Amino acid sequence: MDQTARRRFGATRLATGLLAAALLAASSGLAEATDLLGLYGGVAVGEARVEARGFTNPAPALAPSLEDFAKNHNAYQLMLGLRPIEPFGVEIDYLDLGRASTGLGSSAALPIGYTSSAQLHTTGLAAFGVLYLLPVPILDLYAKVGAARLQSSGTVTVQQTGTGFCPIGASPCLFSAPYRATNTSLAAGLGAQIKLGAFAVRAEYERFAAAGANPSLATIGLTWNFL
């Protein structure tokens, strides 16, 4: 092998070595980034199943009680969590299940010509312990168990829409009453997240007990490790 060929061969070996070292460093850095632990915050959006029971008819002479409330609505969630060691973490969430409204029926049928409806807004805080079931460099599957304090507030309305006589003192045949309920109860959820360095994209389902029913929340969100 002549001197020129030897120089080319040496340069090729050097370039190959440098490339291999760069690739190794990059892969090591990615592995470290995807395994970030610590303090994180996030936001998620999705759909809630807003539910409530125990509505009192504002016109009890017409019918003593109304049907349960159940409605899907856009919702969002804010998250702040700490993951001090690989398989365990804690998280606090603010939940807003949205302002939903729907028509109601009656357990004892309303007179012909009357309709009933309700509006409901459910918000609250939840605290969870988080167990990461499949902690690998890229993907986490996890379960959450804790407690939530949810507040539900709204309005229940009964209105005469057809012909008939309005009860004395009710004009124009519209009855309305506020509805409020506050519950502290068990909450649980399941989720999966893909880690992209300090960021993670997660999909999650949570279920609660509130207003005598079991509202739920399904979301897709983004979290960011900042410590």
d(CA 193, CA 80): 15
Amino acid at 108: A
The whole-number average pLDDT for the span 85-97 is: 94
pLDDT given for residue 25 in this prediction: 42
For 37-225, CATH number? Answer: 2.40.160.20
The reply to whether omega before 111 is within 30° of 0 (cis) is no
Domain ranges within the chain, ordered by starting residue: 1-34, 37-225
Mean pLDDT across 206-214 = 90
Are the beta carbons of 79 and 96 closer than 8 angstroms? no
The band of 22, judged by pLDDT with boundaries at 50, 70 and 90, is very low
pTM: 0.76
pLDDT digits (tens, 9 = 90+) for 138-167: 899 999 999 999 999 999 988 876 655 565
Read off the tokens for 123.
Answer: 């918000």
